[in-house]
Structure 1
């Protein structure tokens, strides 16, 4: 088992994700100062809506491409690898363009439904280019992950974050118009991803696996597209359901909080504090989890096809042990220092109170991320999908019922997220243990 290669790839992605998270964290501090709590609430409502749109274009296809390219690379089939990459790029671009045009044509209606103000349609239009460029960016990254070349996408992600921050900072400082700050922040998403695409495209010209002038016939395009779509549909349904239900639960928070006796502006402010100040801390352990999952899915898939069950179990144990260690350290740290941390960084004691109350969420959510990736790699994506959907449905129903209660209000969001993440983690573990028992039986045979 080539664990050193897995460790090296994980370290590279971990470092890039860590840099991106730290920069993103500093960026959130900047945004909290220039657009305020209410602006953060609006920003994250539209960002969650963007995630719903991207669920149709980027969730399953890049993961599928990385697995298929990894398999073709193992047998040194450059032609099939190139056909898969080019076909997937065209298909994903077409889907994202259709979704982007649909959103732009219905921007007034969407602004009214999401923000209760059709005059904010310009903010909805700001995320339309991001749907296309993020889709292309994810396909390019998926191709490099399949080649097990993590350096290019890792550098690209850092460039994306840096260019986005520089663009937003310079434009906001130049215009000095607070009414446009949220729009500029949303537009910055597209700018950053465009820089990322340009960098990866430049690297493609030097890629020996892809010919600079390469054409494919219609039959190859059809077969490759069909192969990609067949494998990506289950993954897409899982991710799409997860993102859709998660985003819907986030979208109903402000409106349901109003029923607890506070104003809509106050509810947006509460949600803005959690989403813009607390959640960046909560998602810090995901830096490691993202790096692990990206490397584990193609790696374990190859081991499974070769029947190397002992190697699979070792890699799973390695991933879970590392994730648990980072998760438990993060949870303990946030419980002890959460209030002081938010007071120092955001000058907001309320954010610290929320973070301390959510101290277990980083542990369970990071474990869920790794467990879900493992189940996808060992062909248990349907089980993972069912668990995720059940968990999110429970969360959605609980939020709808509990948020209007005056004694709970925003704490209903915190407690629900903690309980649901623990519940889904437990279900993931049960499925994984049963699957590993079957793998042990096969190995003994």
Structure 2
């Protein structure tokens, strides 16, 4: 994968993910207004269960298919490429149907004894077909990422998010659900329909694209071998995803119980969770879309670079991604600390999110860098390291949440403290392993210069926030947000011609 192609694909995927992120953000805003803080908390209790079984069904499939597709495509082994996709679909479909059948049957027990809120029963059952749809969709997405045709899944994701917003609006207006349970269930109906449309479109485009591939006259590998090639990559990632998500689900489910220990009513606890995880973190971690996009392209890029034994290029790429992640986190910190109350009103029409936004933004620089290191380890083929480190971090996360959220004076802020602790540990553990393969040369003068620019922009934005009248409304805050993210642009231009 050539360098210019890496940045071109990263830009396109970032642009697409920003669009889907904006649509997803709009979906969160609409949900928050339909459900309220307590409803958002209830909605958030179902999502970890959904993510948990998605991980069990198909975690690692996108990475495995994208890496193998890239190799087969470069070698012109189109027969193996198409046969791998078909074989993986059959295997994953059987596996997904088995798991979702069990989830549907045991949904009453999950809602009653795991989530401990029987209002989630219908929502859990509604997610079952969505799990099957997303399982197959991930195979097609991996195929398109591997052959560098990222625009297909990108545009389909945008369309799917737009459809989901339309469906929730139609349901809320035509049927007017009269309670939280019905409204939460309708939100998951919208998710299910959106995933089906996404699968249908991906299948249509895959059929069209695969027909354009040259016919394969050489003998292909057996289905068992091709499936093994996929599973040897996917299973460690699946195990990692499932165990980490299990612990993340435990973390999510213990928070309301620990808040009860701290002395809060159950409805108040759900409201606090809705405000912090359902609203605040959506604002603070919105720029993570950029990191996620770069990481998706980074995996096959680093794989091919390491196969060529081009260590220098790999080191340079890792340095660049770490820098972008850190600067993006700093920019987020600057913006969220300048206009926290305004961000809460702007996105969720709430004036009580300011303290949460300001506090959560403190972890942004380290969290963004830590998140990018997982893509680096994946690209370097260190799936077993990812599994080990993720498990360690997840266990520490559960422990911290259990202790901190039960302290009345800390309460939901314990969630933010936990993110800070786990971000530091993740960054240290992952960089230690990356440094064994690729030496990471961090420049202290460059770090100090970037911090100086960050401080300068912070005070500049603070001054602009004071002198610009509130009557400008949205325009004022858009100017501040653009100035905040200018740190990334200034720093990249400053080092554009510097030698790494």
- Of the structure 1 ranges 334-343 and 61-70, higher mean CA displacement relative to structure 2 is found in 334-343
Alignment of 1:4 onto 2:4: yes
Query: CA offset at residue 218 of structure 1?
Result: 12
Cα displacement string for residues 313-333 of structure 1 (whole angstroms, at most 9, x for unaligned residues): 222222222222212111221
| Residue 153 (1) aligns with residue 156 (2) | no
Aligned with 2:93: secondary structure? Answer: helix
| Stretch deviating more after TM superposition (17-26 or 338-347) | 338-347
User: Deviation of residue 154 (structure 1)?
Assistant: 0.5
In structure 2, what is the equivalent of residue 421 of structure 1?
423
| Of 340-349 and 251-260, the range deviating more from structure 2 | 340-349
Work out the CA distance in 2 between the residues paired with 1:50 and 1:262: 27
* Number of aligned residue pairs: 437
Hey, what does 1:207 align to over in structure 2? 209
Shift of 1:229: 0.9
Mapped contact 1:42–1:115 kept (Cα < 8 A):
no
Deviation per CA, 1:49-68, whole angstroms, max 9, x where unpaired? 10000111222122111101
Write the distance in 2 (CA, Å) between the matches of 1:64 and 1:260: 44
Equivalent pair of 2:42/2:120 in contact (CA under 8 Å): no
For 2:292 and 2:347, locate their aligned partners in 1 and report how far apart those are by CA, in whole Å: 25
- Distance in structure 2 (CA, Å) of the matches to 1:42 and 1:119: 8
Give me the whole-angstrom Cα distance separating, in 2, the residues matched to 1:209 and 1:144.
Answer: 14
* Bigger radius of gyration: 2
In the TM superposition, residue 230 of structure 1 has moved relative to its aligned partner by 1.6
* 1:258 Cα deviation from its structure 2 partner: 0.4
Structure 2 gap ranges (5+): 442-500
Distance 2:372 2:350 in 1: 32
- Decide whether the 8 Å contact of 2:259 with 2:411 is kept in 1: yes
**Normalization by structure 2: what TM-score?**
0.83
Distance in structure 1 (CA, Å) of the matches to 2:210 and 2:68 = 18
Q: In the aligned structure 2, how far is the partner of 1:403 from the partner of 1:418?
A: 14
Q: Distance in 1 between matches of 2:440 and 2:119?
A: 57
Q: How far apart, CA to CA, are the structure 1 residues paired with 2:165 and 2:345?
A: 23
In 2, Cα distance between the equivalents of 1:212 and 1:254?
Answer: 56
- The one-character-per-residue Cα deviations of 1:360-382 (angstroms, maximum 9, x if unpaired) are 33322221221111011112222
* 2:42 maps to 1:42: yes
Kindly report which structure 2 residues correspond to 1:98-113, keeping only aligned pairs within 5 A, or say none.
98-113=98-113
- Tell me the equivalent position of 1:403: 405
Mean CA deviation greater in 113-122 or 256-265? 113-122
CA distance in 2, matches of 1:266, 1:119: 17
Tell me which residue corresponds to 2:61: 61
Is the 1:34–1:178 contact (alpha carbons within 8 Å) kept by the matching residues of 2?
A: no
Quick one: distance in 1 between partners of 2:80 and 2:211? Answer: 11
1:279 paired residue number: 281
- In structure 2, what is the Cα distance between the partners aligned to 1:226 and 1:336? 52
Structure 2 distance, partners of 1:53, 1:177, is 27
Q: CA deviation at 1:200?
A: 1.5
Asked whether the equivalents of residues 282 and 361 of structure 1 are also in contact (C-alpha less than 8 Å), the reply is: no
Partner of 2:366: 364
* 2:73 corresponding residue in structure 1: 73
Q: How far apart, in 1, do the equivalents of 2:100 and 2:214 lie? A: 29
Show the counterpart of 2:339: 337
Match in the other structure for 1:391? 393
Q: Does 1:252 align with 2:239?
A: no
Distance 2:430 2:68 in 1: 25
Q: Which of 317, 338, 349 is residue 347 of structure 1 equivalent to?
A: 349
Supply the RMSD in Å over aligned alpha carbons.
2.2
1:94 aligns to 2:94 (yes or no): yes
CA distance in 2, matches of 1:431, 1:7: 25
Confirm or deny: 8 A CA contact 2:78 2:213 kept in the other structure.
Answer: no
Would the aligned equivalents of 2:79 and 2:220 in 1 still touch at CA under 8 Å?
no
Report the equivalent of 2:20: 20
Q: Is the 8 A contact 1:82 1:210 kept in 2?
A: no
Distance 1:16 1:415 in 2: 32
Matches within 5 A, 1:367-386: 367-386=369-388
Which moved further from structure 2: 113-122 or 277-286?
113-122
What TM-score, normalized by structure 1, do the two folds share? 0.93
SS at match of 1:178: coil
What stretches of structure 1 of length at least 5 have no aligned partner? Answer: 440-445
Give the corresponding residue for 2:470: none
